[in-house]
Structures are given as structure tokens and as C-alpha cells.
Amino acid sequence: MGSLSFSGPVLKLKQMRYLFWVLLLVCLVSCNNEEYLPLENTLLTVEVPENFPDLVYDIEANPPTQLGFELGKKLFYDGKLSSNGFISCGFCHEQNFAFTHHGHQFSHGVDDLEGTRNTPAIANMAFFNEFAWDGATSHLDLFPIIPITNEVEMGETMTGVINKLIADSEYQQQFENAFEEGGVNAENFLKALSQFMVMMISSNSKYDKFVRNEEGGELTEVEAYGLTVFQQKCATCHATDLFTDGSFRNNGLPPNPQLNDVGRAEVSGSVNDNYKFKVPSLRNVALTAPYMHDGRFGSLESVLNFYANGVVDSETLDDSLRTDDGLGIALSDAEKEGLLAFFELLTDETFINDERFSEY
């Protein structure tokens, strides 16, 4: 009997099968023995615009990274943060409207419940040290706890949120990747949200281009007039290029008897703070209707008319609204027109269209 030999198609088929299994085995062994390499986590640069004051937030204590930012963004838009799994931070803070709840007088929450205050804008948060209309917290990291635990907003507990995230394997991996001392816990959760918010800087409006002498910053006659009026009659409270001095003031709104919201006094416990609320930034103000802490005014025209004719006196009324001519801010029709044109200058199209902050 002659020696066996394989030739032709049979040999080629058997060789190919053999080669396939050998290669597969090599790959499996190689993968099993390969050391785990964590994802690269790049530090992000927080660029302070040249016309802005210094940062308040301690970047060194929580330096924003790419993975931390992405985790914070995911959390910001995740309904897991609420008791019904539907209400996310982004539900009330819509990017198209400078992260406010456009058209809603009060914030809307779980089970279609309604709050008692208007949703404030989110931008330039790293430049402030007190948050919410009444300054209920003095640290950005702690700010999300307020809506999360408010029974008519997100209606959840911090323990409940963390337990839901721990049960999610994808979140577990993202936390491990984002933080050196990884793990799903309250500290890392709040730091991730802060990293997302710290990067949300709005500083590219037409006004900014004008101040920085950049292309596209040329003002029209009515815009320039509006800037002058603003500097003369509004900049005491809406100071610096953040357009707020961060103070708490009673601006003369008649109290809503159904709410009886005393504002800052809820936090301080002092009657001297009755009906004082934080001065909001005017950046992107043309997009953020309705206005005031209780969203009572649907337009900027209504706001100006109030300051001209509607201010009500009280023991804590801000001194800037008391003049020899009476209460409020005297405004002619021409001055109102100029201010409305100026407010449009503060819209930052780059910010509201920045895909880094978008849900989708």
C-alpha cells in the first residue's frame, strides 16, 4: 500500500479549518493574558473669557476630564435621577432656551406636579458661589441635591439615585473610568455633574465680540444707545460681564399671596431678607421667558414696564429702587426700545447650539 497523501481541494479545506482553530485559540489566550488598559482620560481646559472675572469653582479639587464630563452629561439627561424615571435635569433645563424651561411659569416635576419657582438658567456656573433663587447652597457640587430631593421636582433621594446607578453595569464602568478612586458613590456622582456644568460657559454673544473688539461686534445705533441706558440704569445689580452681582435683593414685586414665597429669608431665617431673591444673570435673557422668580412676566417688555411703573414699596425694598422721583426705574419709550435691543445682544448662539452640551 502506498503512502497516504492529501492533495487538491480536500487538503486545502482541512488546512483552512485547522488554521482557523489555531488562530482562534491564539486570540483567546492572548486576550485572556492581556493586561487591562484603562481608557485615556484627558484633562479638559476651562477657558476663562478675557472679559470675565476669575473662576470661583475650585478646579483643582475637581478637574474636569473628558470621561468625567461625558459621565456628567449622561447623568444630566437621565431620568434615573427622579423617582418616576422620567424627569431629568435636562427636562427643565432645555439647551435651546439657555437651559431654562421656556414657556413654563413654574418648574414641572414628577407626577405632573408643579413647583413654586421659575426654572433658572444654567450657564457660567463656575463663576458663582451661591445657587438657586434663595441661595440654598453655596457650592456647585451640592446644587443638584436640591431639585433631586425636592418632592415636586424630581422626588427622589440621593440614596435612591445611587442605588439605581450601582445596579447599572454601564454606569459602574463609566464611574471607574472617570475617577481614579472610581465607584458609584454620591461624591463622584456630584463631581461628574459639576464637571459638565463647569464647562458650560456662555461668552460668545455679539456683546462679547464688541467688548473684545472682535469681528461681528459692531453695534447699531439703537444697540449702542441701549448699552448706555443699561450701564446707567441697570448695571448696579446686573454687574460685570456676568450681568449679575450675585446678590439677593427685593426688587419690588408684589408678593403672590397664594405662594407667600419669602425668598432668601427661608435660608437665612432673617426678616431682613424677606422677599429678596438672587439677581439673575441677563445672559441669553431674550430666550429665557417667563421672567422673575415666579415667572409672572411673559415678555421683557412687561419686565421693563414693571420697573418703570409697578414697583411696590416694602421694608426690604432695595435702595436702588428708591429715588427722589419715586419708586422704580424711570424709563422712556426710547430707553425701553434701546434696552430691548441691548438684551438681544446677549444671546449666545454658539452656546445654545454647542453639541458638547446637547442631549442628542
Joined grid coordinates for residue 74: 449622561
Strands annotated E in the chain: 248-249, 277-278, 322-323, 326-327
CA distance 133 to 130: 9
238 annotated to bind ligand? yes
Joined grid coordinates for residue 146: 436640591
234 annotated to bind ligand? yes
> Cα torsion for 21, 26, 27, 30, to the nearest 10°?
160
Residue 9: asked if its preceding bond is cis (omega within 30°), the reply is no
User: For the range 252-255, what are the long-range contacts, defined as Cβ-Cβ under 8 Å and sequence gap of 24 or more?
Assistant: 252/310, 252/311, 252/312, 252/313, 252/314, 252/317, 252/318, 252/321, 252/327, 252/328, 253/292, 253/293, 253/294, 253/296, 253/306, 253/312, 254/310, 254/312
| Structural contact between residues 100 and 84, judged by C-beta atoms closer than 8 angstroms | no
104 annotated to bind ligand? no
Joined grid coordinates for residue 163: 442605588
Cβ count near 112 (within 10 Å): 8
Alpha helices in 79-123 (DSSP H): 89-92
27 annotated to bind ligand? no
Gyration radius of the chain's alpha carbons: 28
Task: Indicate the annotated binding residues for heme c.
Answer: 89, 92-93, 234, 237-238
Q: Which residues contribute to the annotated binding site?
A: 89, 92-93, 234, 237-238
